[in-house]
Amino acid sequence: VSEAIWEYPVRMRRSEPLSREVIVHAAMAYVDEHDLGTLSTRGLAAQLGVTPMALYRYVRNKDELLDAVVEELLARIRLPRRSGTDWRRWLEAIAQSLRRLFVEHPVAISAFARGPVTTPTARRRLEQSVEMLTAAGFTPDEAVKAYAAVHTYTVGFSTLEATRRSNANPRDLAVPVAELDSLHVSIHQFVSDDQFTYGLRALLSGLTPSASV
């Protein structure tokens, strides 16, 4: 299950002084290359050329360290330029840009899986969306539901995509029939750029302000 991740022969010979920033930075470097789940305090300490407990001067515990890493990951999210008043185009743009972040930095998904995201960017994303939707005739309540639907679809899709992509899934090999031959369906079709866009557009075209009915 777990391979040898850190080259334990200590590299970083303590040139830089230890600090919260240095620790989080090292954790980020690791997490970008590997995974949030395999990050260990001991491995991190070794990489920094220090005993595990040295870290505890700067972070209360592993959970706090993980939260710090997650914050850093979330800071990478940027809102696309807002142009025009086509709310469907806007919702599609933010959904696509969020997914692109997830594809490029799969570890960012863990940030969303850990709990609700309430960073400034996340809030501005919601606020701008609600603005456009209410302008289009949605009630505020409907607007939030519509936004939530798109957001959940995007994060949910990306979450499943990540597990299917990641590290040579054993079940694909173990189960002899990953395809339904009669239909020429591969389970891999379930997650792809096309499939994401297909579902997203279906969802978007199904969203309409009740007033317009």
Partner DNA sequence: ACCTGAACACCGTTCAAGT
Note the residues at the interface with its own copies (CB under 8 A): 1, 61-63, 67, 112-116, 118, 123, 126-127, 130, 140, 144-146, 148-149, 151-153, 155-157, 159-160, 163-164, 169-172, 174-175, 177-178, 180, 182-185, 187, 189-191, 194-195, 198-199, 201-207
Residue 4, CA distances (Å) to 38, 40, 55, 153, 191 in order:
10, 12, 21, 35, 30
**Any idea of the CA torsion for 191, 195, 196, 199, to the nearest 10 degrees?**
-130
> Considering CB distances under 5 to 8 angstroms, the limit depending on partner class, which of DNA, its own copies, none binds residue 52?
DNA
Q: Does 11 contact DNA by CB under 7 A?
A: no
What is the C-alpha separation between 69 and 52, in angstroms, rounded?
A: 18
> Considering CB distances under 5 to 8 angstroms, the limit depending on partner class, which of DNA, its own copies, none binds residue 18?
DNA
Q: Which residue has the tokens 């940030």?
A: 111
Q: Does 4 contact DNA by CB under 7 A?
A: yes
Using CB under 7 A as the binding rule, the residues of this chain from 23 to 52 that contact DNA are 39-43, 50-52
Q: Does 10 contact DNA by CB under 7 A?
A: no
> Considering CB distances under 5 to 8 angstroms, the limit depending on partner class, which of its own copies, DNA, none binds residue 41?
DNA
The upper half-sphere exposure of residue 48, i.e. CA atoms within 13 Å in the direction of its Cβ, equals: 27
> Considering CB distances under 5 to 8 angstroms, the limit depending on partner class, which of its own copies, DNA, none binds residue 93?
none
Residues that bind DNA (CB under 7 A): 1, 4-6, 8, 17-18, 39-43, 50-54, 56-57, 61-63
